[in-house]
Each structure stands twice: as structure tokens, then as C-alpha cells.
Amino acid sequence: MTIKITLPDGSVREYPKGSTSMEVALSISEGLARNVLAANLNGTTVDSSLPIHADSKLELLTWNDTDGKSTFWHSSAHLLAEALESLYPGTKFGIGPAIETGFYYDVDFGEVEFNQDHFKKLEDKILELARLKSEFKRQSVSKLDAIDYFNTKGDEYKLDLLQNLEDGKITFYTQGNFTDLCRGPHIPNTGFIKAVKIMNIAGAYWRGDEKNKMLTRLYAVTFPKQKELDDYLVLLEEAKKRDHRKLGKELDLFYFDEEVGMGLPLWAPKGEALRQNLIEFLKKIQRKAGYQHVASPHIGKKELYITSGHYAKYGQDAYQPIRTPDENEEFFLKPMNCPHHCKIYAAKLKSYKDLPVKYAEFGTVYRYEQHGELHGLTRVRGFTQDDAHIYCRPDQLKEEFLKVVDLVNLVYSKLGFSEFKTQISLRDPNNKEKYLGTDQMWDLAEKAIVEATQERGMKTTTKEGEAAFYGPKLDFMVRDAIGRKWQIGTIQVDYMMPENFDLTYIGSDNQKHRPVMIHRALFGSMERFIALLIENTGGQFPLWLAPVKAIILPISDKFDDYAKKVADQLSDILDVPIELDLRNEKIGRKIRDAEISKIPYMLVVGEKEQNEETIQVRKKHEGDLGSQTVDEFIAMFSEEVKV
RNA sequence: GCUGUUGUAGCUCAGGGGUAGAGCACUUCCUUGGUAAGGAAGAGGUCGGCAGUUCAAUUCUGCUCAACAGCUCCA
């Protein structure tokens, strides 16, 4: 009896029934077999030792495959557990999955105090066990036997896990002296693991529920070669240098102050210059796209948020209300701009011919975020949204939605964000009471989003239960320097708020109609976007964004007057920030400091330049560009500074 | 909010039961120097805050505030 195995390149080979993926690999080449970690059999990742009994599609997985890596890391988690059990007998185990980079294991150390000082010992033990090349052996067990095993061992977390598992589908994996409840698959043996680094230790609730006991989560990463671990650690160091919190301080962009309050960023002149450059850029693009800019106050009466629905949903979690001394009215710091914009819409009667109406505001909002959640500029308590609300007729919804999608793509491409992900967030179909509005409204809104993204051929992931309480949304996410994903842009369809505020327009039939509303932000918030921009550029901003565009460096104080004259000329014509370094320092020092400050142009002036009425242009990172007249520089600069 | 780690000069950090140290930055002076750190001197700190133990606390203990990592949450 033979079976036909189809490989990814389309070739078909015949093998005896019951052959394993490893045997297939061996038949192709010994080198391949040495690197096989697991296999993808008809779309499912399986052990390379699993016998194949029918014609199948087979892909051999190595370290170069995502699934191969995650199998490797998952097996490493088992090895970590084995090492822990051997070093600290009595340790109880929660779950130990592979994650994007590496893996973790949640463990209960009981009385043992485990901290960073133990990392080295643990790493050594893991490598020691790895060298034994213990095979990962799979074994099916009955639920009763499984319960019996962990009862004897006294591992309550595994028993808890077992409760949700179906009898007959339970498997154990054993390597060396360690047996774990696991569905697999695993790498052939522990010998593949050649390098390990315990990265981090943190608390994590059992099953992610804060009512449960907090376990110790050990984050670690392993590699098949020491060199790869070393490279990875270097990469991490590089990423740390791009951290916006570090660069923000170094480049003098923004600060936090305990006395001002946590999560409340202070923008220094250079940071604000950067912010304004971005705001001007967006305003221009938005005006072109038919948006009108509006402005609204930072507080609003409680009644406004009762009408909008925000109070019922988030009133308790917001900042405490501000009370007037006489009228005893309650005001809230605004958490969103939409209620105010709805009021602007309602202020004047609209005709169907007026729609779509697009109000944009760089509106500063305040939200009470849990303090453990605050992080640099990416999650703060006071921030400025590049917010806009589009009020349109239902028949315009899809077109308007598409226009916003196109606008997001345009803006991100100009800023060099190419690696963003898009996610559609829909209502949780099993928990509809969490949301406002009728089923019909939701169906219409969700359909509009799905169709629009399909029309643009966008690769999106869809998540149920992640929608805003008033409507479904399309989010744009990018990664920061250390790989965390953050939502930036968002487009949300809302039938509810026009209803709540009784917004109308007069149709061609001379009757009142209800507009649809689109909430949208391209950057999300200026703060978060700038954080990600800093991390993505490493602080090397393009000329048009740079807070300081050029610095004039006189060779000595004999040329200060000429330097000032040049500075005045440039500022007058270019209308951009130009600095002047009049310190009593040598030119080498001035250049070094300007390079570190990441100022795009350094203009050196000395005796030669003064006599010839020129400047010597030096570009950051690139070095000397030679002498130019001021006019020549202005022409070159003006061309480059265009977005 | 929860768990853990951390908090010393403007910044980065060392130290440690007997009232503090480095580098950079800052101030003054010397130097007038042509492409990534010229030299000297000086000033600067209630060792996050509050309490406790002690003859003595920046160091030990407790509480508190903040930052960091993760968990939970997320408009």
C-alpha cells in the first residue's frame, strides 16, 4: 500500500502507507531532514513523527517557517518547564504558549522566591537538558487518567484546564522527566535548542482574570544557533535606541512632569514645531478633501454627554465632573469631540445639497486611563485627536467611507508608513446588548465597511466584539520599535449619534431625513502618531518635518556678524526655524553637536565664505555638499522642503 | 486597578548605617580654531515624599507618589 504525498512545489511522491514526514524529508535530503521541526499536513501543523495514512499535501516546516518557529518555541516552553521542575520541585504550571517572538510559561512557584538573579541558573539548566536530546513523545490519555496524573502531581492549573477538554482528545507530551498536558505538535527532540535567553519576568492572572491568582510569567526566547540569539539581542538594543521616550528627551521634543500629572505630556518648542508641521500638513490635505475646520471647548455639560450616550457608558470612568459654584451644573472634560460637532451641525438647517458636511478639529480630549496602562506618548490621559466627523446621506455612505480610506492611504504613504495593518471591528453577535442602536443600523454599517475594504482590495483581519459601542469600525495599526501594535487611524460608522442628537437634513422631497455619521481620525492622536513616527524614523525626520531645518556654524566669532546676516536672510525668505551656533567652540564640535541634534542642514561660514558671500552646505549624515550662494541654497531647500 | 522592578545633580549612571561621587550638560576664563568631543576653574543634590527602627537613615522597615515591564481594561 502506498500513499501520494504532494509537496509545496507541486511534485507528487509515493511512500508506503504510515510513513512519517521525517521519512519524507529523509528521502529528499539528509540536510533537510536535519532541519525539519514539524510538518504542515493538509493545513494542520503536526509532529514530524506522525504516520501518514492517506494521500496528503505536505509541507516540511523548518526554522524559516513561522509555524516551524512557533513549534520550536512551544517545545522550548516545555523544556523551560522541565528545567523549572528540576530546579524548583513542586512548581505548578499554567500555560506555556509560543508568542510572536519566543514563548512564555505561567508558573506558580509556591513558596519559592524567583527573581532575575535566578535567570542564569535557569538558562544553564535548560541548555543542559537540551543537550540530552530528549525526544518529545506523544501519548493519548483518557480524561480520567489525565485527571489522576495531575491530581497526584498536585497541579491545580492543569486540572482546571482539563475540565474544558473533551475525553478522547487529550494528549500528553513527555520529554526527559517532564510530562505536560499538550495538544502539540513539537519538534523531534530538545537537541535543536542551542541558545536560550530568559527575557523577562512579570505577573499574569491565571486565565487572564483578575479575580484569579496571579502567577509568575517567564518570558524567554530560544534559537537553534547561538549566533541568532546574539543577533536578536543586538536588534533589541538597536530598537531601544529608537524608543520615542528616549529620543523625545534627547531631541528636546517633549517631557512629562510628576507635578503636572501622569500621562499629560508637555511639548517643548521643538516638539511643538514638529506637531505643527504635521498639523499644517493634514489641514492642507483635509481642506483639499472638502473638510472644514472647526473648534470647540475643552469641557461640556453633563447633559451633552447624556444625549450622546457617552455618560451612560463611560461617565463613571471619566474624570470627576467640574461643578460651577452657583448654578451647581456639572461639566466634564471632553473625552470626544463628536458631541460638540453634532451641535455645530444642528446649529443651522441643512439641505440634502449641503451633504456631505465634514467637520475637522484638532481637538484635545481627556480620558482617565488606568495608570498601569500609560506609556510614553502612545497612551496618555490628555491628547489631541486629528478628529473629523462626516455627516452624509445614507446613499453617500460607501463613497464617503472609501474617500476616507483613500485619504488614510495617501497620508501614510507621504509619511513613509508602509507596514500598517487594517482591522475591521464588528459587534459581538452574542452580546448585542453591549451596543446602542438597532440591528438594522448595525447591519447597514457593517456591510458598508466590509464592502468598502473589499472594493479597495485591502487585506484586513476581522474581529467580532471589538466595535465601538455606537458602531463598527476600521482601524489602522502600526508597530512601535519593540514590536507592539498600536492603533492609529480609525474610521467608524455611526447611525446612533445623529439619532441621539436628532440631526436632520431636508431631502429633495422636502421632508426631514436622518444623516449618517462617520467618525474618523487619520493619525488617531497627535501624541501616539508622533511617538510612532519617531520610532519609525529613529528621529531622522524628513526636511519638511524637522523642527529645526538648518543651523549656521561660524568658524570663529570673527564671522558671527556674517553668520547673523545669513540667518536673517534665510529666515526672512524661507520662514522656517534656523538656528545659529555662536558658542566659543571649534567647528568640529559644532558639527558634532548639530549631527547629534539631527538638524538636516549645517551651514558653515568662515573667512572664505564671508569674502565670497557664500555658505558652505553640509547635510546631516551625508557631509559636505560644497559652497553655494544663499540664493542657490534657498532654491535647493525650497524644492526639498515640499511634501 | 493588579504583580514585579526601579527612583541619587539638568541628563546617563556608580556608591552605600557615620549627612555624597563620575561623565556629559551648565557658568567663568584661556584658546580664534576649517568639518563628529580644545584646555582650565567653578557652581550645582533634604539621595522621590511621609512615617518608623537606631546614638546616627540617602542606605534598614512600612506606607505613599512616580517611572518601567507585564496582566486586566481601553472611548
DSSP state letters, A517-567 = EEEEEEEEEHHHHHHHHHHHHTT---TTT-SS-EEEEESSGGGHHHHHHHH
Model pLDDT, residue A358: 97
A137 touches strand B (CB under 7 A): no
Q: What is the DSSP letter of A188?
A: S
Distance A262 CA to B49 C1' (A): 16
- If you average pLDDT over residues A167-174, what whole number do you get? 85
Percent residues over pLDDT 70 in chain A: 99
Residue A90 reports pLDDT greater than 90: no
Residue A215 reports pLDDT greater than 90: no
Residue A317 reports pLDDT greater than 70: no
Distance A576 CA to B36 C1' (A): 25
- If you average pLDDT over residues A613-626, what whole number do you get? 93
Q: Based on the residue annotation, tell me whether A338 is a catalytic residue of this protein.
A: yes
List bases in chain B with any atom under 7 Å of a protein Cβ. Answer: 1-5, 11-12, 26, 29-38, 65-75
Q: Based on the residue annotation, tell me whether A389 is a catalytic residue of this protein.
A: yes
Cα angle, residue A546 at apex, residues A542 and A548 outer, rounded to 5°: 145
Q: Which of residues 259-288 of A touch strand B (CB under 7 A)?
A: 262-263
Q: Which of residues 594-623 of A touch strand B (CB under 7 A)?
A: 595-596, 602, 604-609, 616, 618, 621, 623
Summary mean pLDDT of chain A: 88
Residue with cell 518635518: A545
- If you average pLDDT over residues A582-603, what whole number do you get? 94
Residue A307 reports pLDDT greater than 80: yes
Q: Which of residues 230-259 of A touch strand B (CB under 7 A)?
A: 245, 249, 256, 258
The pLDDT tens digits of the residues spanning A198-208 come to 887 777 888 77
Q: Answer yes or no: are the C-beta atoms of A280 and A362 closer than 8 Å.
A: no
Distance from C-alpha of A527 to C-alpha of A384, rounded to nearest angstrom: 7
- If you average pLDDT over residues A404-420, what whole number do you get? 89
- A150 against A544, higher pLDDT: A544
Q: Answer yes or no: are the C-beta atoms of A404 and A491 closer than 8 Å.
A: yes
Residue A223 reports pLDDT greater than 80: yes
Marked catalytic residue, from A367, A403, A528, A620:
A367
| Helix (H/G/I), strand (E/B), else coil: A96 | coil
Distance from C-alpha of A64 to C-alpha of A357, rounded to nearest angstrom: 51
Residue A387 reports pLDDT greater than 70: yes
A201 touches strand B (CB under 7 A): yes
| Helix (H/G/I), strand (E/B), else coil: A136 | coil
- If you average pLDDT over residues A512-530, what whole number do you get? 93
Q: In what order do the strands lie in the sheet with A178-181?
A: A137-141, A170-175, A178-181
Distance from C-alpha of A605 to C-alpha of A83, rounded to nearest angstrom: 65
Percent residues over pLDDT 90 in chain A: 39
Q: Which of residues 97-136 of A touch strand B (CB under 7 A)?
A: 115-116
Model pLDDT, residue A316: 66
Q: Based on the residue annotation, tell me whether A385 is a catalytic residue of this protein.
A: yes
Ordered alpha helix ranges (H), A352-485: 397-414, 439-455
A10 touches strand B (CB under 7 A): no
pTM of the model: 0.86
Confidence class of residue A322 from pLDDT cuts 50, 70 and 90? confident
Residue A184 reports pLDDT greater than 80: no
A625 touches strand B (CB under 7 A): no
Distance from C-alpha of A595 to C-alpha of A239, rounded to nearest angstrom: 20
Model pLDDT, residue A143: 86
Q: Which stretch of DSSP H or E encloses residue A107? A: strand A102-108
Distance A113 CA to B54 C1' (A): 29
Distance A260 CA to B46 C1' (A): 22
Distance from C-alpha of A242 to C-alpha of A246, rounded to nearest angstrom: 7
Model pLDDT, residue A627: 93
The pLDDT tens digits of the residues spanning A422-474 come to 989 888 877 777 777 788 888 888 888 888 888 888 888 888 888 887 888 99
A588 touches strand B (CB under 7 A): yes
Please name the nucleotide lying closest to A606, CA to C1': B34
